[in-house]
Amino acid sequence: MEPILQVENLSISFGGLKAIDDLSLSVEKGSIYGLIGPNGAGKTTVFNCISRFYTADQGKLTFQGNVNLLNYKVHQMVDIGLVRTFQNVELFKNLTVLENLIIGQHSMTKGGFFAQGLRLPSVKREEKRIRDKALEIMDFLGIRGIEHLPGAAQPYGVMKLIELGRALMSDPKMIILDEPAAGMNHSETQTLTDLIKKIRDKFEVTILLVEHDMNLVMEVCEKICVINFGKKIAEGTPNEIQNHPAVQEAYLGKEDEVHA
pLDDT at res. 108: 53
Q: pLDDT at position 119, please?
A: 61
Helices (H), the chain: 43-50, 97-102, 113-118, 121-141, 156-168, 186-203, 214-220, 238-242, 245-247, 255-258
pLDDT at 86: 86
In DSSP terms, 121 is beta-bridged to: none
Residue 162 has pLDDT above 90, yes or no: yes
Pairing relation of β-strands 223-228 and 32-36?
Answer: parallel
108 vs 66, residue with greater confidence: 66
CATH number of the domain located at residue range(s) 1-81+172-260 in this protein: 3.40.50.300
The pLDDT > 90 percentage for the chain reads 73
pTM: 0.88
The band of 61, judged by pLDDT with boundaries at 50, 70 and 90, is very high
Amino acid code (one letter) for 247: V
Per-residue confidence (pLDDT) for residue 253, from 0 to 100: 55
Q: Kindly report the backbone phi and psi dihedral angles of residue 137, in degrees, each rounded to the nearest multiple of 5, phi listed first.
A: -65, -40
For 168-204, how does the pLDDT look when each residue is reduced to its tens digit (9 = 90+)?
999 999 999 999 998 888 888 999 999 999 999 999 9
Dump the DSSP string for 18-66.
Answer: EEEEEEEEEEETT-EEEEE-STTSSHHHHHHHHTTSS--SEEEEEETTT
d(CA 58, CA 54): 12
pLDDT of residue 93: 85
Numbered ranges of CATH 3.40.50.300 in the chain: 1-81+172-260
Q: Which residues pair with 84 in a beta bridge?
A: 176
The pLDDT of residue 251: 58
| CA distance linking residue 6 with residue 178, whole number of Å | 18
Give the mean pLDDT of 11-26: 95
Please tell me whether residue 190 adopts helix, strand or coil conformation: helix
pLDDT mean over 56-83: 96
Averaged pLDDT for residues 87-104: 90
All residues at 6 or more sequence positions from 54 whose CB lies less than 8 Å from its CB, including other chains: 12, 45, 48
**pLDDT band at residue 258 using 50, 70 and 90 as cut-offs:** very low
